[in-house]
Amino acid sequence: MLYQMETEEYRAKLKSARINQALGVFILFFSVVVMIAMAFTDTRVQMITDLVAGGVLFAIGGGMILKSRKTIKSYSQTKTH
C-alpha cells in the first residue's frame, strides 16, 4: 500500500513537471513574440514597455523550463535506483 502511494506521488510530480515544462516553452515563445513587437511600436515608451514585458516573460519561461528539467532529471534518477 505504501509503495502504491509513493508511485502515485511520483507520477503526479513528474506529470506536474512536464506540464510546467510545456507551459514554460509557451511563455518563452510568447516573450519572443512580444520582443518582436518592439519593431512595430510608435514611441520609445512603447518600445521600452515591450522590452521589459518580454524580458520578464523570458525569465519566467526560462525559469520554469530549467526547474522542470531539474525535477524530471531528479525523479528519473530516483526511479532507476
6 within domain boundaries: no
Higher pLDDT, 45 or 74: 45
19 within domain boundaries: yes
Q: Which domain holds residue 60?
A: 12-76
Reduced to 3 DSSP states, what percent helix, strand and coil does the chain have, rounded to the nearest 5? 95, 0, 5
Domain count for the chain: 1
1 within domain boundaries: no
State the pLDDT confidence band at 78, using cuts at 50, 70 and 90.
low
Q: How far apart are CA 25 and CA 31, in angstroms?
A: 10
pLDDT of amino acid 57:
97
Give the pLDDT confidence of 22-40 residue by residue, as tens digits.
999 999 999 999 999 999 9
In this predicted structure, the answer to whether residue 2 has a pLDDT above a threshold of 60 is no
pLDDT of amino acid 79:
62
46 within domain boundaries: yes
68 within domain boundaries: yes
81 within domain boundaries: no
33 within domain boundaries: yes
Contact 77, 44 (CB under 8 A): no
pLDDT of amino acid 74:
87
Q: What is the pTM of this model?
A: 0.82
